Amino acid sequence: MANLDHPIKKVMIICAKANIEDVYAALVMANGAVMEGIEAKVFFTFFGLDAITKKQMKKLHTATVGNPGMRMPGGLPFPSILGMLPGVEAGVSAMMKSQMEKLDIPPVDEFLELITAGGGEIYACKLAVEMFKLKKEDFSEHVKDIITIGQFYELAAGEGTQIIFT
Amino acid sequence: MAEKVYLGKTISVTDEGYLTDASQWTKEIALEIAKEEGLTLTDKHFAVIDYIRERVLKGEALTIRSIGKSGVIDTKGFYELFPGAPLKKATKIAGVAKPVSCV
C-alpha cells in the first residue's frame, strides 16, 4: 500500500526543450498527475515554447545527431552520418510519433487539450516569449497565460508541491 | 485479497476496493461503491460505466483519451462526472480492475 501520509498535491513541470522526448516527458507527467487528481501546471520556456506554438507544435523532432540513445530498428547503432542526411530526422520523428499513437499517446495539441480538460494549466515563460519575439496569439488556445518566473513560484505555493524540470 | 459486504452480499475486492470478479457486479453495488466515493450516480454516469465494462470485459485497455473519444462522453465531461481521478473512480464503480495505463 502506498504511503498516503504526505501525498503529492501539486506538480509544477518545466519544459525547456523542443525534442519530442523532452516535451512528451513533461506532457505525460502533467497528464498523469491530472488523472490521479493531482493539480498540474506546466511552464514552457526557451525552446520548449515550440511545443505550445501553433506553428511548431505539430512539427517536433527528435535529434538523430548527437543522440547516443538513437538506434536502428533492431538495435544496431545508428551512424551519426546517417542522421545528418536530409529527411532522416523527419522520418525517425514520424516513426516515433506513429509508435506513440499505437500506445494511445496523442499528438501534442490533443495532449494539451486532455491536460486542460482535466484542470491542468499551461503557461509560457515571459522572458523566453520576449526573447523569441512571440505574442499571445502565436500560442495554442490551451495556453492560459504568459507569466514570469516569480508568478510561477507563486503558483507553486502550498504544501505537497513538487517542481520538476524535464 | 479483501472482502466487502454490499447490500448483504459478500464481494471479493482488492486492498484498494476494486472488485476482483467483474461478474459479481450489479447496478445496485455500483450505487454503493459510488456512495463511498461521494458520488450519486445518474444515467450519464451509467452510460460511461456501461461503456467501460463493455471495453474491459472484451479485454481492451482503457485510457482517458479513448474514453474521451468514445462518443459516450468527452474528456471534460468525464472529469466532471468522476471528479479527482476519473479513470480510477469510474473503473472502481464499474466493478472492473484498476487500469494500468499511463495515459
Interface test with A, best of B64, B69, B88 (most A CBs within 10 A): B64
Share of chain A above pLDDT 70, in %: 98
Phi, psi of A99 (to 5 degrees): -65, -40
Buried b (16+ CB within 10 A) or exposed e, A61-84: bbbbeebeebeeeeeeebeeeebe
Residue A102 contacts B, CB cutoff 8 Å: no
pLDDT score recorded for residue B32 = 96
Domains and CATH numbers, chain A: 10-165 (3.40.1260.10)
Interface contact A107, partner B, CB < 8 A:
no
Enter the C-alpha cell of residue A121. 494549466
Q: Which three cell numbers stand for residue A116?
A: 486542460
**Cell numbers for A8:** 503529492
Tell me how close the Cα of B14 comes to any Cα of chain A, in angstroms. 11
Q: What is the pTM of this model?
A: 0.93
Which pLDDT does position B102 carry in this prediction? 87
Tell me: pLDDT of A166 over 90. no
- Tens of pLDDT, residue by residue over B52-96, are 999 999 999 899 999 999 999 999 999 999 999 999 999 999 999
Hey, is the C-beta of B84 within 8 angstroms of any chain A C-beta? Answer: yes
User: Quick one: closest CA in B to A24, which residue?
Assistant: B103
* pLDDT confidence bin for A5, thresholds 50/70/90: confident
Interface test with B, best of A36, A104, A109, A113 (most B CBs within 10 A): A104
| For residue A1, pLDDT beyond 60 | no
Using the 8-state DSSP alphabet, how is residue A66 labeled?
S
Residue contact A117–B88, C-beta within 8 A: no
B47 among known catalytic residues: no
- Calculate mean pLDDT across residues A121-134: 98
Global ipTM: 0.91
Q: What is the mean pLDDT of residues A23-28?
A: 98
Query: Which percentage of chain B shows pLDDT scores above 70?
Result: 100
